[in-house]
Structure 1
Amino acid sequence: MRIYMQTQPVSNESPRYYEIVLQQDLLGGWMLYREWGQQGGRASSKREVYLERDDALTAFAQARDAQVKRGFKVVFSQGLEAPHVR
C-alpha cells in the first residue's frame, strides 16, 4: 500500500510532501516506510517493522490521519484493499 500526500505551496516555496508505504517483507513481517520533506529538497525517512498485519495497518492509518490533520492532501494512493480473510 502506498499514499503520497502534499501541502499547498506557500508563496514561492515548493510544496511539502509525505509518503507512506506499507509492504510485506520476505519473512512474513510488515515494513512501514515513511518519507517526508520539501519537493526538490532534502528528505527524511523512517522505517518501522511490525510482525502482525493488523498492527502495521493501524500504524499506517495513524500516520496518514496525523498528516491529514496537519493539512496534507492525498495526491496518490495505491493498493488500499480490504483486509485479508484467513
Structure 2
Amino acid sequence: MLSLWLHRQDPTRNMNRFYRLYVSADLLGGWCVVREWGRHGAAGQVRRDLYASPEDAQAAGQRLARQKLRRGYRPALGTPLPAELLGAATG
C-alpha cells in the first residue's frame, strides 16, 4: 500500500512544508486515504477519506501524490518514490 513522506522547501519564500500520505484499512472493514500536512515544526492538519475497496483507495492516493509532486513536493531524504509515481516527479 502507498505510504509517502513529501516535503517542499524554498528559503526565499520562507516555505518549509511537509505532506504525508498513506493508504490504510479502517476498523470497520473499509479503506482510507490519510493525509497529513503543514509546516515543519508546527501542528499540522489531518484528513481521512473513506473508500469501499483497497484498489479505490490506492488509486485515490496515487492521484493525490501526483498532484503534490507536480506542485514541487519531493520525497523526504532517504524515502524512495514508488515506481508508479516516478514519471510525476520529473514532469
Task: Give yes or no for TM over 0.5.
Answer: yes
Task: Give aligned-pair identity as a percent.
Answer: 27
- How many residues of Structure 1 are paired with residues of Structure 2 in the alignment? 79
Residue 36 of structure 1: aligned partner: 37
1:5-44 to 2 correspondences below 5 Å: 5-11=6-12, 13=14, 15-44=16-45
CA contact (8 A) 2:8 2:15 kept: no
Gaps of at least 5 residues in structure 2 are 83-91
Amino acid corresponding to residue 25 of structure 2 in structure 1: Q
Give the superposition deviation at 1:54.
Answer: 1.4
Deviation at 1:69, TM superposition (A): 0.8
Counterparts of 2:15 and 2:42 in 1: how far apart (Å)?
Answer: 9
2:62 paired residue number: 61
- Say which SS state the counterpart of residue 9 (structure 2) adopts: coil
Determine which structure has the larger helix proportion and give its number.
2
Which digits, 9 at most, give the CA deviation of each residue in 1:16-60, with x for residues without a partner?
000001111243311111000000013111111101111101110
Mapped partners of 1:12, 1:67: distance in 2: 18
Aligned to 1:83: none
Asked if 2 retains the 8 angstrom alpha-carbon contact of 1:23 and 1:32, the reply is yes
**Would you identify which runs of 4 or more consecutive aligned residues in structure 1 move more than 3 Å?**
11-14
TM-score (norm 2): 0.73
RMSD of equivalent CA atoms: 2.2
Indicate the structure whose relative CO is greater, using CA pairs within 8 Å and at least 6 residues apart: 1
